[in-house]
Amino acid sequence: MHFLITYDVETTTTEGQRRLTKVAKCCKNYGQRVQNSVFECLLTEKDLITLRSALSSIINKETDSIRIYRLGNYYKTKIEQIGKETSFDIEGTLII
Q: What residues make contact with a copy of itself under the rule CB under 8 A?
A: 4, 6-8, 34-38, 52, 55-56, 59-72, 77-86
- CB distance 32 to 40 below 8 Å: yes
C-alpha span between 48 and 83 (Å, rounded): 30
> Residue 42 or 96: which CB sits closer to a copy of itself?
42
Residue type, 91: E
Q: Which is nearer to a copy of itself, 81 or 93 (CB)?
A: 81
Min CB(48)–a copy of itself separation in Å: 9
> Of 29 and 35, which has the nearer Cβ to a copy of itself?
35
Contacts of 90 (CB under 8 A, 6+ apart): 2, 31, 32, 40, 42
CB of residue 59 to a copy of itself, shortest distance in Å: 5
